[in-house]
Chain A
């Protein structure tokens, strides 16, 4: 077994708000191996994006703060790095793509200058060399007519093209890890697949790991090697992707899978969405945060919080009743 590229250990990230302290990420641990595609899934507000921003060191402080834990990247603890060294890693060894292609590119700077920027910052390339590289990057992400595109502004490009530019920018310095935070959510379904294929291609070419943050289980099934399921700031299940669909061990995972519309289901058979609502993060229920919505919940779940435990090789679940759950499905 190779050494993991990214090791997140007991990460706690909190936000101070008017309503109280929100534990957006609460004791999250997982590892991403070199060259693999790891997906973090969950509903909006479950803490998956905050986890990504914590890795990047981009938690807005205030109001947010990483209160404890460690994030080890290639043997270095990112949380203990001085900001200057963290900056040197951002954009060079870890690249990131964001959700909104419309607003993630600077509207007043040309594509060229935005693409060349990481090269100038991290590889000290001079203007012309960086611009030539930028042109190659546009070709790499499959946008035709790169010479014209270079001189254009973001508003002259389509959403899909902008996201390709974001990928080119994130991959400019050949990072070891690419983080895609809901990178395809705002795009049309047909474009989504193209963008995901592109991310898979560019990372596999350089051997980079890919961390996909998404709420879309379809994407997870199609692309991810391993999956972490998050709910209310905690990881509930970590599993091989194929195994997750075949044998979900956490009630929340089961609920998520059942709420996805399927083409192969009987016509007219109802979807079964998860009952209840996502809890208020400032006022979480006692015990397991999922217990009010869980059909398997027992008394213990309302008092004690389950921790993530290995149930079989390659599978970790945080549920007292996981054996029952596994049997039911």
Chain B
């Protein structure tokens, strides 16, 4: 088991490096002179040259990249062009809203997705199954930002149950915090759980055709036990994969929902940075998101081994 975990970690390392190279190169080869962006419209050539010298933009590509990686390895994400502040410092206050949103959505969508998927598989072929799957396809096809728009219109504008936009931090009380995040959590959970539900159902139906399910029935196991004890765990691998994938989808979802609901999280920060062309922030956030997702995949890989003993070697 430990060998497997170590091996998975080792496999992730080149991916992290590759992600770093892509992130850095993207900004490096991109058009636009960073010195000009920093200096503003009225900078003289001398000022530009001074900025280049100061921030090291005149060094060669490998040196700059090496420097960037070196700092990254020491937890230094760089400095914002715009505010001239450390990016780690800028990120810190943005973590709470995004992490809280992420945690709630992952928990909720996993619960909803797996339970509805299993219910559909249990009732396979019935009207309930068909209705659940119609909902799942709808959830899969609906654009999150439009669903957010609809929920705001119904629940905030017309019913007035929730604020139209705005965020209340946990420090101001858990209830108002959850209340302020309720709509974005719902929107993202509905979309993510649609996917999980579909996969859970098809994975369960796949496993229910296996020989060992027949063996379980031949032992006299009840249908309930066949379903939960014998069929669920073997079908959990594709489900774990899709939960991992849906977390990657959340990264995108958060950029959109944080913008719509005006939540001061990392997604919003990225959009702001893109509007201002604050490249160090874009670089840093891309890197952070990619590393987090590689970490999620690593956890999913380790979950595989926990779920299926054949994978531990």
Contact = CB atoms under 8 A, between A and B. Distances in A.
Given A90-B220, A118-B220, A106 B215 contact: yes
A105 B215 contact: yes
Contact of A121 (B214, B221, B233): B221
B84 interface: no
B310 interface: yes
Contact of B217 (A58, A95, A100, A103): A58
Nearest to B309: A153
Contacts of B222: 87
Given A100-B211, A103-B211, A90 B219 contact: yes
Contact of B220 (A87, A153, A155): A87
Nearest to B210: A103
Contacts of B211: 98, 100, 103-104
Q: How many interface residues does chain A have, given as a range?
A: 20 to 34
Interface string A144-178: 00000000010100000000001001100000000
Given A153-B310, A155-B309, A104 B212 contact: yes
A96 interface: yes
Nearest to A99: B211
A92 B308 contact: no
24 contacts: A58-B217, A58-B218, A88-B220, A90-B218, A91-B219, A92-B220, A98-B211, A100-B211, A103-B210, A103-B211, A103-B212, A104-B215, A105-B215, A106-B212, A106-B215, A107-B212, A108-B233, A117-B219, A117-B221, A118-B219, A118-B220, A121-B221, A155-B309, A169-B215
Given A98-B214, A98-B218, A166-B215, 20 more contacts: A58-B217, A87-B221, A88-B220, A90-B219, A90-B220, A91-B218, A91-B220, A95-B218, A100-B211, A104-B212, A105-B215, A106-B212, A107-B212, A108-B234, A117-B221, A118-B219, A121-B220, A122-B220, A155-B309, A169-B219
Interface string B234-273: 1000000000000000000000000000000000000000
Contacts of A140: none
Contacts of A169: 215, 219
Contacts of A105: 212, 215
A108 B310 CA distance: 8
A186 to B, nearest CB: 11
A105 B215 CA distance: 7
B230 interface: yes
A170 B218 CA distance: 8
A95 B212 CA distance: 14
Contacts of A121: 219-221
Interface in A64-111: 87-92, 95-96, 98, 100, 103-109
A56 interface: yes
Nearest to A121: B220
B216 interface: yes
Contact of A90 (B210, B217, B310): B217
B102 to A, nearest CB: 29
Interface string B198-219: 0000000000001110111111
A107 B220 contact: no
Interface residues of B, number: 20
Contacts of A122: 220
Nearest to A172: B219
Contacts of A88: 220
A89 B230 CA distance: 20
Q: What are the 8 tightest A-B residue pairs by CB atom distance, in nearest-first order? A: A91-B220, A91-B219, A103-B211, A90-B220, A153-B309, A106-B212, A96-B218, A118-B219
Contacts of B9: none
Contacts of B230: 106, 109
A100 B214 CA distance: 11
Nearest to A62: B125
Contacts of A90: 217-220
Interface in B221-237: 221-222, 229-230, 233-234
B214 A58 contact: yes
Please indicate which of the listed interface residues A103, A106, A121, A169 has the most CB atoms of chain B within 10 Å of its own CB.
A106
A109 to B, nearest CB: 8
Nearest to A101: B211
B307 interface: yes
A56 B218 contact: yes
Contacts of B234: 106-108
Nearest to A166: B215
A103 B216 CA distance: 12
A108 B218 contact: no
A13 B140 CA distance: 42
A107 B310 contact: yes
B303 to A, nearest CB: 13
Interface in A200-235: none
A111 to B, nearest CB: 11
B225 to A, nearest CB: 8
A117 B309 CA distance: 19
A153 B229 CA distance: 15
